[in-house]
Amino acid sequence: MEKNEILKTLKEEKIDYLQMQFIDIFGICKHVEVPKTQFEKAVNGDVMFDGSSIDGFTRIEESDMLLIPDYKTFRIFPWEDESGKVARLICDVHNPDGTPFKGCPRFILKQVVKEAEKLGYYMVVGPEAEFFLFYRNGEGEPTLKTHDKAGYFDMAPQDLGSLTRRDIVKALEKLEFEVEAAHHEVADGQHEIDFKYDDVISTADNVITFKLVVKKIASKHGLHATFMPKPVFGINGSGMHCHQSLFDKNGNNLFHDPKDSIGLSKLMRQYIAGILKHAKGMCAITNPLVNSYKRLVPGYEAPINLAWSEKNRSPLIRIPASRGKGTRMELRMPDPTCNPYLSFAVMLKSGLDGIKNKMTPPDPVDKNVFTMSEREKRRYRIDALPPNLRESLHFLKKDDLLTETLGDHIFNHFYNSKVLEWNNYISRVHSWEHDRYFELY
Active site residue 117: no
Taking alpha carbons only, the member of 80, 85, 82 closest to residue 39 is 85
HSE-up (13 A, CA, CB side) for residue 385: 33
Percentage with pLDDT > 70 across the chain: 95
Tell me the torsion sign for CA atoms 309, 132, 225, 283: negative
| Cβ-defined contacts of 409-416 (< 8 Å, 24+) | 409/102, 409/103, 410/25, 410/56, 410/102, 410/103, 410/105, 410/108, 410/342, 413/25, 413/55, 413/56, 413/103, 414/25, 414/26, 414/56, 414/285, 414/342
Determine the 3-state secondary structure of 93 from DSSP: strand
Q: How confident is the model at residue 412 (pLDDT cuts 50, 70, 90)?
A: very high
For residue range 61-117, what is the model confidence (pLDDT) as tens digits? 347 889 999 999 999 999 977 789 999 999 999 999 999 999 999 999 999 999 999
Q: Containing H/E element for 189? A: none
Active site residue 192: yes
Mean pLDDT of 196-221: 97
For residue range 145-194, what is the model confidence (pLDDT) as tens digits? 987 665 444 455 456 778 899 999 999 999 999 999 988 887 888 999 99
Q: Where in the chain is the domain with CATH 3.30.590.10?
A: 111-432
Active site residue 335: no
Q: How confident is the model at residue 429 (pLDDT cuts 50, 70, 90)?
A: very high
Is the model's pTM score more than 0.85? Answer: yes
Per-residue model confidence (pLDDT) at position 369 = 84
Given 2, 5, 50, 80, the catalytic residue: 50
Given 94, 106, 241, 328, the catalytic residue: 241
Per-residue model confidence (pLDDT) at position 405 = 98
Classify 111-432 by CATH class: alpha beta
Q: Containing H/E element for 366? A: none
Per-residue model confidence (pLDDT) at position 153 = 45
- Tell me the C-alpha distance between 343 and 323, whole Å: 25
Is pLDDT of 336 > 90? yes
Classify 3-101 by CATH class: alpha beta
Taking alpha carbons only, the member of 322, 325, 335, 320 closest to residue 287 is 335
Contacts of 171 by beta carbon, 8 Å cutoff, 6+ apart: 78, 79, 213, 216, 217
Active site residue 50: yes
Q: How confident is the model at residue 54 (pLDDT cuts 50, 70, 90)?
A: low
HSE-up (13 A, CA, CB side) for residue 315: 28
Given 147, 165, 318, 332, the catalytic residue: 332
DSSP H helices in 132-246: 160-174, 200-220
Percentage with pLDDT > 90 across the chain: 79
- Tell me the C-alpha distance between 271 and 290, whole Å: 29
CA distances from 358 to 167, 269, 271 (A): 47, 9, 9
Q: Burial-class residue 432 by CB neighbours within 10 Å (0-12, 13-18, 19+).
A: exposed
Per-residue model confidence (pLDDT) at position 60 = 43
Strand partners, 136: 142
Active site residue 128: yes
Given 24, 130, 188, 335, the catalytic residue: 130
Active site residue 62: no
Mean pLDDT of 9-32: 96
Q: Where in the chain is the domain with CATH 3.10.20.70?
A: 3-101
